[in-house]
Amino acid sequence: MREHMRLYLVADPAFAGTRRLPDIVAAAVRGGVTMVQLRDKGDHVGRFVQEARAVRQVLEGTGVPLIINDRVDVAHAIGADGVHLGQRDLPVRDARRLLGREAIIGLSIEQAAQLAHADLAAVDYLGAGPVFATATKPDAAPPLGLDGLAAIRTACGLPVVAIGGLSLDNAAGVIAAGADGIAVVSAVMAAHDVTHAAAQLRARIGG
């Protein structure tokens, strides 16, 4: 599990521009992305399902797991490797019951105090953030900072992927604070050369 956390791409079609999302994902994996979360906040679930199936095809045989944000039904329908759930999403225990023991279930943690209320036995990894302020998720909680990230790391043995405002400049510091990896959206999605951007990040993180 922990090794899949290294460079975690949040693939959001809102950042795809005129490019095809599966192509962006394929390019990112060539650059060293170790896990892909597909996130679609639009209201066209049928399209999300089609898109998710196309991304799953691209990832087949690469060893890179595909995780669906929020929609446990979409994850189940397309045979994804798991789901990523926020604090307001389907409870992790219900997701585990639907998806079974083998599924990867990630949970967003916005502050260490949330760990006390979380059903961590149903969770495989934590997404901790936002570490820094971010423009890509305007409704995000206040930034954790590196101290807040370290507090989550200390409080819980689960693999932790840091998210929120991460880039080449601050990636190494986040790893030093204890994260197993970094999750990026625009740092890869919005790059002119997606493969190069992913490879640079991967080199900066190591692992």
- 70 appears as a binding residue in the annotation: yes
Residues 69 and 83: beta-carbon distance below 8 Å? yes
Active site residue 202: no
Nearer to a second copy, 70 or 124 (CB): 70
Residue 72, C-beta contacts closer than 8 angstroms, at least 6 positions apart: 83, 85, 90, 94, 95, 98, 99
Residue 103, C-beta contacts closer than 8 angstroms, at least 6 positions apart: 75, 81, 82, 83, 95, 96
* Amino acid making up residue 154: T
Residue count, binding to a second copy (CB under 8 A): 22
Selected catalytic residue, list 53, 137, 167, 204: 137
Active site residue 137: yes
Nearer to a second copy, 50 or 154 (CB): 50
- 165 appears as a binding residue in the annotation: yes
> Is 154 a residue that touches a second copy (CB under 8 A)?
no
- 185 appears as a binding residue in the annotation: yes
Which of the residues 69 through 98 are near a second copy (CB under 8 A)?
70-74, 76-77, 87-91, 94-95, 97-98
**x/- map, 35-74, a second copy, by CB under 8 A:** --------xxxxx-x--------------------xxxxx
**Which helix (H) or strand (E) element contains residue 194?**
helix 194-205
Query: Which letter does DSSP use for residue 179 in this model?
Result: -
Determine the Cα–Cα distance for residues 146 and 141; give it in Å rounded to an integer. 15
- Residues annotated in the binding site for Mg(2+), as ranges? 70, 89
Residues within the interface to a second copy (CB under 8 A): 43-47, 49, 70-74, 76-77, 87-91, 94-95, 97-98
